[in-house]
Amino acid sequence: MWLTNSSVGRKVVMSVTGLFLVLFVTFHALMNAVAVISFDAYDKICEFLGANWYAVLGTLILAGGFAIHIIFAFILTFQNRKARGNNRYAVNARPKNVEWASQNMLVLGLIVCCFLILHLVQFWAKMQLPELMDRPHLGGYAALQATFSLVWVLPVYLIGFAALWFHISHGFWSAFQTLGTANDKWINRWQCISKWWASIVFILFAVEACYFTWFFAL
Amino acid sequence: MEENKNIAQPIDSKIPEGPIAEKWTNYKAHQKLVNPANKRRLDIIVVGTGLAGASAAATLGEMGFNVLNFCIQDSPRRAHSIAAQGGINAAKNYQNDGDSVYRLFYDTVKGGDYRAREANVYRLAEVSNNIIDQCVAQGVPFAREYGGLLANRSFGGAQVSRTFYAKGQTGQQLLLGAYSSLNRMIHAGKVKSYNRYEMHDVVIIDGRARGIIAKNLVTGKLERFAAHAVVIATGGYGNTYFLSTNAMGCNCSAAMACYRHGAYFANPAYVQIHPTCIPVHGDKQSKLTLMSESLRNDGRIWVPKNIEDAKKLQAGQIKGSDIPEEERDYYLERRYPAFGNLVPRDVASRAAKERCDKGFGVNNTGKAVFLDFSEAINRLGIDVIRQRYGNLFDMYEEITDVNPGELANEINGVKYYNPMMIYPAIHYTMGGIWVDYELQTSIKGLFAIGECNFSDHGANRLGASALMQGLADGYFVLPYTIQNYLSDQITVPHFSTDRPEFDEAEKRVQANLDKLMTIHGKRSVDSIHKELGNVMWEYVGMARTKESLETALKKLKELRHEFETNLFIPGTQEGMNIELDKAFRLRDFITMGELIAYDALNRHESCGGHFREEHQTEEGEAKRDDENFFYVACWKYNGDDETAPTLIKEPLHYEAIKVQTRNYKS
Amino acid sequence: METNISFKLKVWRQANAHAEGRFETYEMHDIPTDTSFLEMMDILNEQLIEKGEEPVTFDHDCREGICGMCSLYVNGHPHGPATGATTCQLYMRRFHDGDTITVEPWRSAAFPVIKDLMVNRNAFDQIQQAGGYVSFQTGGAQDANAIPISKDAADEAMDSATCIGCGACVAACKNGSAMLFLSAKVSQFALLPQGRAEAKRRVKAMLAKMDELGFGNCTNTGACAAECPKNIKLSNIARLNREFICAKCSD
C-alpha cells in the first residue's frame, strides 16, 4: 500500500489527517463563539453533540484522525532521525526563509497533544463520556464554568493555542505542498493563507478563553 | 614495455575512398558489423565518463556489448565536460542563414589553421545534426524561441548562427543527457560503472589492448579488468601547466600509459590559450576561471600608456579608473584597427602577454590587462550592459570583490567604471593520442575519443566545437568503427585476468607506486607541479622560441630529477591517499611537458595554438609553413621517459579545401 | 581590497569509513581574503605535508561551481555562508580575523564518510539509474524541431535541470531527505513532452529507490532550497508529489 510504504504516501496521510484536524479546530473555534453570544444556544449544541449516534461516529472518526496523525508523526520522525545518521553536526545554523515551526513540528505537536489531553479531561470526560456510560454529566455551560473559574487555565490554554498556531502555520501549507497543489505562485499563496488561517483560529480561541475567564473567574 | 611489434607501420590513417561527402556513407556501407548474439560475448572497457566516454559507453551498451566504464570522480556526471559554457555547433541551418555540412566542415578546418585531417572533420560536420536530434530526444532543455523551436546563437569563427545552447551550461546539460543514457544502460545491466577508479596501465596481449589495471582510489588497491577492446576518453592535458581552466582532477595519465605502450601521441604542441580568464592573484591559486568571450563585444582592452602608471597600479597606489582616457593604450584597437577587440583568441592572448612582458601589466603580479566597460556603459546605460553581462559581472565580483558595473571615478566630466582584469590561460588541448579514421590508436584494439585524441581540431579549436566532437565520437562514430575491429574477435573468449600479461602489468604499476612512496624527500606534489606549470607557461606557453623550448627541456629534466629524488608523500598506500594519486599524475605531466616541448621545438612554423616567435609576419601574425609542416606530428615512445621520442609524420592530403592563409583583416 | 586574516580551523578528521572521527583544530595565519575557501584548504594541506602529516581529504574538482563535487559543511551551512554558491565559489573575505571556522562533512546515513570530509554520494547515482532518463536508442531520434516545446516549459525544465547533484539538499535537511534532488530530475522530464511517455513509471521507480536507500521523509522545511547552490525551487517537490500521487492513483 503506497500510503504506508512510500515516503510521499506517508506524507499524504499526514496531510489529509492534518487538514481534517485543521477543519475540526476551525469548527470548534466557531462553535465556541456561540457560547460568547449565548450560553443557551451553546448548551443546545453540546446536547446535539452528546450521546447521539452521529456525534459518536463523528467523535470516533475524529479520534481516528488524531491517532493516525500522531502515529505517523512518530513513524516519520523515527525514520527521519535514522536517515540523518548517527553523527550530528557540531554547528547548526537555520537558513533564512526556513520557518522555525517547520523544524519543530513534533515538539509543537506534543505540546498541542498535552493540551488536548488536559482539554479532554476537563470537558469530554465530564460531558460525552459519562453520558455514553449513562452517568450524570455536565452541560456546556456547566463545563465551561467548572473549567474557566480556575485562573491558571487561561495561561495554559494560551500556551496550547500558541503551539497550535505554529503547528498550523506550517502544517497547513505543507499539506497542500505534499498533495502536489503548489507551484511557484501557489506556494507563496498557501503560506500566506496558512498564516492567516492559523491566526484566525488562534484569535478566536484566545478571545473566547479570555472571555470565559473574565466571565467565570473574575 | 611492449615492443614495436604492436605498432602498425607505416602510418595508415585508413581514410575511406571516394569524394569527401561520401566517405563516411561508404565506410558504413562496407564496414564489418557484429551480429546481436555475438555482441553479448564481447566486453569493452571505456575509461572516462565525459561527453565522449559516457556517450560511447551508453551507446555500446545499447548495442548489446558488455561495457565496463571507469571514472576518477565519485559519479560519472562530474567529468569536466560539465564545465563547458557556450554551446554546441551543428549544421542544422534552422536559421536559414546558409549553413550546411560543408560550411561547418570548412569553418572547422579553417579555424584549425589547416592542420586537421579533412575526412575526419567532414564526418564530424555530417553527424553534428544527429547529435542535436539525439540530445533533444534525451530531454536536454536547449534554449527555445517563443514559437517552441530551437534557438541558435553565433560564435567566433563562423558567419552563421549554428550554436545550440542551454543557458550558459550547455556542457552540463549535454553531459547529463549522456549520463542519463548511461544510467539507463547501467540499470539494464549492460554497463558496469566503476567510480573513483583510476586507470594506471593498459594491458597488451599479443599486440592488442585487452584490459587495464585500475586503482580503486578508496581502498588503494590495484584491480585488473579484461576486455576485447579498450577505449580511452580521458580528456586533455591542459593541467600540465598547473594553472588552467581544467578541473583539478583532469590528467593525462591514461593517455601517457597508452603512449608508453607505443600509441603515437600527435601534435602535443597545439594547446589553446583563452584570452579572457580571471588573472592569477597569488601563488596560492589552484585554478583559473574562464570569463565568457562574449565580453569582448562591448569591453575594451587596455593597459596604461605610461610605464609609471603601470607601476603605480602594480603597487596598488592607484586604480584603473584613476587613469583618464588619453593615458590609456587600447593596444588591440591600435594594432588591429579592423578587428579591434574582437581579434581571434590566439592573437588577443599574445598581445596581452606582449604588453605585460614590457612591464605594462596592471595588477600586483604584473600579469593582467584591463577589460573596460566604461565606454559601453556611458553609451548604452548600465541597464543594457547588465542585461547582457549581469551574470558575468556577478561572477567576477564574487571572485575578485570588484563590481565592474560600479561607477568609480569621474575625470573632466567623463564617468569611469571599475574595469575587469583579465589574462590568458590554458584552456583546451587540440593534440592527443593519434587515431586513424576509425578512432583506433596505433595499438590494435585501443581506441581514443574526445579531447583525448588529436583528430578534428587541427591546430586550433573553434568555440562550441569541443562538445560536438566528444558527442560525435561517442554516439555516432566509435560505436560503428569499433565493430569493424571487433568483427573478427567474436571467437575470442572472455579473457582471464590471471594471465601473465596482467601479472606483469600490475607488478609494473605497483613498482611505480612503491617507488613514489619510498622517495621520502621534502617537497609536496603541488609544489613541484607548480614549478612544472611555471616552466611550461614561461617557456612553452603562448610564444615559443627555439631557445625557450631548449631551456624548457633542460629545466624539465632537472624537474624530473627533483621529482624522483625529493618528493614526499605522507601516509601509506592503504586506503585513500590523495597525495599518492596526485604524484602518480604529476609523473606523467612531466613526461607530457617534455613531449609538448619536443613537438613545439620540431614545428618551425606558427599555426593556431602554436606560436613560434621566429615565424611571424611583420604585423605579428602567425606564419605557417605549409611546404615543410603540412603533416601530423606523431611521437613514438622510445622505451623510457628520459629518451627523446621519435617523430613519425602523417602527411595531410586536402582534396576538398584549398589551403590558404587565415585572414583576420577583411 | 585584499587583506590578510588569521583564524582557527576546526576540521573533521576521520581515517576511513569505519574509524571514529574527531575534530582537529588548526591555526591559520595571514590568509589573503582573495583566496578561495578550497585554496585555503590547499594551504592547510601544504602545511600539514610540510610537517609530515596526512593532508585533509575532501572532494573537489572543477572549482567553478558546476561539477558538484565539493561538499563541505562550513559553519553550519552546506557550501558555507554564501547563498547560491558552491564551496569552491566561497571566498575568504566572507570570514573575519579571529573567527573559528568549523568544517564538517555532509552528514546523512545515505552519505557515509569515506575519509575526513569526503563522503560517498553513490546513492544519488542509484536514484538516477532507477529511472532518470528517457528510454530510447541512440540514432532513433526524430528531427530536433519536430516537437515544438513552449519557451516557458523549456526554461522551467532548464531551471530544474541545473541541479549539480552535490547533495547539499540532503546535508541541509534535518530529515536527510533527497526530495529536492529527486524532484529536480523528475520535474525536468515531467515538463518536457519527451519525458511524458514514461513519466509515471519514472516517478514511481525513482521514489521507490530513494526510499530504499534510506533517505528521510520530506517535511517541507525548505532548508534544501534555501541552501541549494543552484537555487533549485521548492515547487519542484510539489510537482514530484503531484506526479507520484497521480501515478499511484491511476494504477
Please answer yes or no on whether C148 and B148 come within 8 Å at the CB atom. Answer: yes
| A90, A94, A174 member nearest C23 (Cβ) | A90
pLDDT, residue B7, reads 46
Signed CA dihedral, B256, B260, B265, B268: sign only? positive
Burial of residue B474 (CB within 10 Å: 0-12, 13-18, 19+) is: buried
The letter for the amino acid at B551 is: T
Q: Which residues of A touch C23 (CB under 8 A)?
A: 90
What kind of architecture, by CATH, is found in domain C4-115? Roll (3.10)
Are chains B and C touching, using the cut-off of 8 Å on CB pairs and a minimum of 3 such pairs?
Answer: yes
Q: Answer yes or no: B40 catalytic.
A: no
Distance (Å, whole) CA C117 – CA C55: 11
Nearest to B290 by CA among B303, B275, B272: B275
Distance (Å, whole) CA A111 – CA A105: 10
pLDDT, residue B346, reads 77
Distance (Å, whole) CA B49 – CA C125: 13
Shortest CA distance from C210: residue in chain A? A7
Domain hosting A131: range is 2-86+102-217
pLDDT confidence tier of residue B4, bands split at 50, 70 and 90: very low
Given a contact cutoff of 8 angstroms between Cβ atoms, the answer to whether C245 and A181 are in contact is no
Q: Rounded to whole angstroms, what are the CA distances from B408 to B318, B373, B377, B414?
A: 12, 12, 13, 11
Distance (Å, whole) CA A18 – CA A171: 7
The answer to whether domain C121-249 has CATH 1.10.1060.10 is yes
Shortest CA distance from C54: residue in chain B? B570
pLDDT, residue B157, reads 67
Signed CA dihedral, B250, B253, B254, B258: sign only? positive
Q: Which residues of C touch A97 (CB under 8 A)?
A: 222, 225-226
Distance (Å, whole) CA B225 – CA B212: 5
Distance (Å, whole) CA B632 – CA B625: 13
The matching CATH number, chosen from 1.20.58.100, 3.90.1150.10, 2.40.50.140, 1.10.510.10, for B501-651 is: 1.20.58.100
- Chain B neighbours (≥3 Cβ pairs under 8 A) are C
Which sequence spans correspond to the domains of chain C? 4-115, 121-249
Residues in CB range of B192: below 8 A, 6 or more apart = B66, B67, B68, B69, B186
| A6, A95, A102 member nearest C219 (Cβ) | A102
Residues in CB range of B110: below 8 A, 6 or more apart = B157, B657, B660, B662
Given a contact cutoff of 8 angstroms between Cβ atoms, the answer to whether C217 and A7 are in contact is yes
Please answer yes or no on whether C151 and B80 come within 8 Å at the CB atom. Answer: no
Distance (Å, whole) CA C35 – CA C58: 17
Q: Which residues of C touch A177 (CB under 8 A)?
A: 220, 234, 237-238, 241
Decide the pairing of beta strands B631-636 and B265-266: antiparallel
Please answer yes or no on whether A82 and C214 come within 8 Å at the CB atom. Answer: yes
In angstroms, the separation between the Cα of residue B132 and the nearest Cα of chain C is: 6
Please answer yes or no on whether B133 and C115 come within 8 Å at the CB atom. Answer: no
Q: Grid coordinates representing B450? A: 574526445
Mean pLDDT of chain C: 95
In angstroms, the separation between the Cα of residue A92 and the nearest Cα of chain C is: 4
pLDDT, residue B5, reads 45
In angstroms, the separation between the Cα of residue A168 and the nearest Cα of chain C is: 13
B323-328 mean pLDDT: 94
Torsion of CA B167, B170, B173, B177, to 10 degrees: 140
Residues in CB range of B496: below 8 A, 6 or more apart = B226
- Is the confidence at residue B19, as pLDDT, over 90? yes
Please answer yes or no on whether B193 and C66 come within 8 Å at the CB atom. Answer: no
pLDDT-wise least confident of A174-188, B181-195, B397-411, C179-193: B397-411
Q: Grid coordinates representing B153? A: 546563437
pLDDT, residue A71, reads 96
Q: What is the pLDDT of residues B150-163, one digit of tens each?
A: 999 877 667 788 99
The parts of chain A modelled with pLDDT lower than 50 are: none
- Is the confidence at residue B134, as pLDDT, over 70? yes
Q: What is the pTM of this model?
A: 0.95
pLDDT, residue B8, reads 45
A-interface mutation test, from C175, C191, C236, C239, most A Cβ less than 10 A away: C175
Q: What is the pLDDT of residues B229-266, one digit of tens each?
A: 999 999 999 999 999 999 999 999 999 999 999 999 99
| B75, B149, B281 member nearest C148 (Cβ) | B149
B523-527 mean pLDDT: 96
pLDDT, residue C1, reads 52
Higher pLDDT: B335 or B155? It is: B335
Please answer yes or no on whether C219 and A7 come within 8 Å at the CB atom. Answer: no
A91 — alpha (psi -120 to 50), left (phi > 0) or beta? beta
Candidate list B78, B103, B115, B345, residue with the active-site label: B345
C-facing residues of B in 107-146 (CB < 8 A) are: 130, 132-146
What is the dotted CATH code of the domain comprising B4-80+170-273+427-498?
3.50.50.60
Q: Which residues of A touch C207 (CB under 8 A)?
A: 6-8
Which sequence spans correspond to the domains of chain B? 4-80+170-273+427-498, 274-424, 501-651
End-to-end CA distance of chain B: 52
* C-beta neighbour count of C150 within 10 angstroms: 14
pLDDT confidence tier of residue B46, bands split at 50, 70 and 90: very high
Higher pLDDT: B343 or B204? It is: B204
Please answer yes or no on whether B287 and C63 come within 8 Å at the CB atom. Answer: yes
pLDDT, residue B60, reads 98
Please answer yes or no on whether C161 and B176 come within 8 Å at the CB atom. Answer: yes
pLDDT confidence tier of residue B663, bands split at 50, 70 and 90: low
- The C-alpha angle B382, B383, B387, rounded to 5 degrees, equals 115
Nearest to B162 by CA among B105, B114, B113: B105
Distance (Å, whole) CA A202 – CA A172: 14
Distance (Å, whole) CA B189 – CA C123: 17
Shortest CA distance from A81: residue in chain C? C175
pLDDT confidence tier of residue B555, bands split at 50, 70 and 90: very high
Please answer yes or no on whether A2 and C109 come within 8 Å at the CB atom. Answer: no
C-interface mutation test, from B74, B127, B180, B197, most C Cβ less than 10 A away: B74
B553-575 mean pLDDT: 97
pLDDT, residue B664, reads 58
- Name the one residue in this structure whose C-alpha cell is 503506497: A2
| C76, C237, C238 member nearest A93 (Cβ) | C76
Q: What is the pLDDT of residues A137-194, one digit of tens each?
A: 998 899 999 999 998 999 999 999 999 999 999 999 999 999 999 999 999 999 999 9
Name the fold adopted by B274-424: Flavocytochrome C3; Chain A, domain 1 (3.90.700)
pLDDT confidence tier of residue B2, bands split at 50, 70 and 90: very low
- Is the confidence at residue B13, as pLDDT, over 80? yes
Residues in CB range of B580: below 8 A, 6 or more apart = B220, B513, B516, B517, B569, B571, B573
* C-beta neighbour count of C220 within 10 angstroms: 29
Given a contact cutoff of 8 angstroms between Cβ atoms, the answer to whether B71 and B48 are in contact is yes
pLDDT confidence tier of residue B3, bands split at 50, 70 and 90: very low
Are chains C and A touching, using the cut-off of 8 Å on CB pairs and a minimum of 3 such pairs?
Answer: yes
Given a contact cutoff of 8 angstroms between Cβ atoms, the answer to whether A123 and A143 are in contact is yes
* Domain CATH code at residue A192: 1.20.1300.10
The letter for the amino acid at A26 is: T
Please answer yes or no on whether B248 and C15 come within 8 Å at the CB atom. Answer: no
End-to-end CA distance of chain A: 55
Distance (Å, whole) CA B315 – CA B302: 18
Please answer yes or no on whether C64 and B578 come within 8 Å at the CB atom. Answer: no
Nearest to A140 by CA among A153, A152, A124, A151: A124
pLDDT confidence tier of residue B405, bands split at 50, 70 and 90: confident
| Residue B274, phi then psi, degrees to nearest 5 | -95, 130
Chains A & C: contacts with CB separation below 8 Å: 148
Give the HSE-up count for residue B663: Cα atoms under 13 Å, Cβ half-sphere.
5
Q: Which residues of A touch C172 (CB under 8 A)?
A: 95
Decide the pairing of beta strands B43-47 and B66-71: parallel
Signed CA dihedral, B129, B130, B132, B133: sign only? positive
Nearest to A188 by CA among A97, A76, A66, A95: A97
In angstroms, the separation between the Cα of residue C137 and the nearest Cα of chain B is: 7
Nearest to B635 by CA among B282, B244, B267: B267
In angstroms, the separation between the Cα of residue A203 and the nearest Cα of chain C is: 25
B644-661 mean pLDDT: 93
Given a contact cutoff of 8 angstroms between Cβ atoms, the answer to whether B528 and B479 are in contact is no
pLDDT, residue B20, reads 96
Burial of residue A78 (CB within 10 Å: 0-12, 13-18, 19+) is: exposed
Where helices occur in A38-152 by DSSP H, the ranges are 39-48, 53-84, 105-122, 128-132, 140-148
Our count of domains for chain A comes to 1
Mean pLDDT of chain B: 93
Shortest CA distance from C76: residue in chain A? A92
Given a contact cutoff of 8 angstroms between Cβ atoms, the answer to whether B99 and B160 are in contact is yes
Q: What is the pLDDT of residues B469-503, one digit of tens each?
A: 999 999 999 999 999 999 999 999 998 999 999 99
Q: Which residues of C touch B83 (CB under 8 A)?
A: 62, 64, 66-67
Higher pLDDT: B86 or C203? It is: C203
The letter for the amino acid at A48 is: F
Shortest CA distance from C203: residue in chain A? A8
Shortest CA distance from C176: residue in chain A? A84
